[in-house]
Amino acid sequence: MVGLSLGEKNFIKGGIAQDIRTDGRKRLTYRPIFVETGVIPQASGSARVKMGATDVIASVKGRGGEELSVELSTALQRCLLGGKSGAGAGIDLSSLSIVEGKVCWDIYIDGLVVSSDGNLLDALGAAVKAALSNTAIPKVEVTANASSEEQPEVDVSDEEFLQFDTTGVPVIITLTKVGSHYIVDATPEEESQMSSAVSISVNSQGRICGLTKRGGAGLDPSIILDMISVAKHVSDQLFNKLDSEIAAAEACDDE
């Protein structure tokens, strides 16, 4: 919990109301974002993302299995995988299928918080997207008996890999409500003054993939709809910056 004086609290709230935050940003502006990929050689894919002083790492491991499984925190799971049925999922789990209903890839995603300076969920979501773009899945050959009732035999290549398709992987936009205004990429001091926060995952086509809320104050449905509209608008800014950083990071990896 951040300890602030009454004057500091009023300064934060007043600045947000005037669209001038304590660090000089506007309400819907992010701190600088930096991405580094391939930071964990033992993983199938990995990335490190820094948003201001918030520093997180995501790693992806893949192995063959009989069930689809993605290990994420509850909030990340809601934002990236949609509902329990998988409807609206930002990550296309069907792309992990090797033989439908029999064999698939299990993808395990681990997140590590190196340094926390607010807006952790958005940073972790960005790191997951960057790590998945860095993920290579071994090419698999299935033997002829795969269509029979027997468990199919598969040959996993050690030399040929397929790039994980991240086209539909969304970004997470957390809108933090302070007073009557929303802000993005909140600092811990700003988060301490919030009444509620809504995290919305949006893909590059502007489709909502998931939503989760925290904070005790209830929100009118009209406010939720307005927040979704704002998140769609802000997502363009985040996608452009994140895609640019990922491309630059992967270019460095190839050198």
pLDDT digits (tens, 9 = 90+) for 139-161: 777 775 645 566 667 767 677 77
Tokens of 218: 């209830």
Cα–Cα distance measured from residue 98 to residue 10, given in angstroms and rounded to the nearest whole number:
57
Q: Where are the domains of the chain?
A: 6-254
68: pLDDT strictly greater than 50: no
Judge if pTM exceeds 0.95: no
- Give the residue-averaged pLDDT of 14-25: 96
Residue scoring higher pLDDT (146 or 81): 81
More confident residue, 184 or 94: 184
DSSP state of 148: S
Instruction: Give the residue carrying structure tokens 């491991």.
Output: 61
Task: Tell me which of 48-57, 85-94, 140-149, 220-229 is least confident.
Answer: 85-94
Spell 223-240 as b/e; 16+ CB within 10 A means b: beeebbebbeebbeebbe
Average pLDDT along the chain: 84
Which residue type, as a one-letter code, is found at position 148? S
**Distance (Å) of CA 6 to CA 155, 171, 186, 190:** 65, 35, 19, 13
Mean pLDDT confidence for 186-215: 91
Highest mean pLDDT, choosing among 8-12, 96-100, 133-137: 8-12
CATH topology of domain 6-254: Ribosomal Protein S5; domain 2 (3.30.230)
Distances (CA, A) of 103 to 63, 73, 98, 140, 165: 11, 25, 5, 11, 19
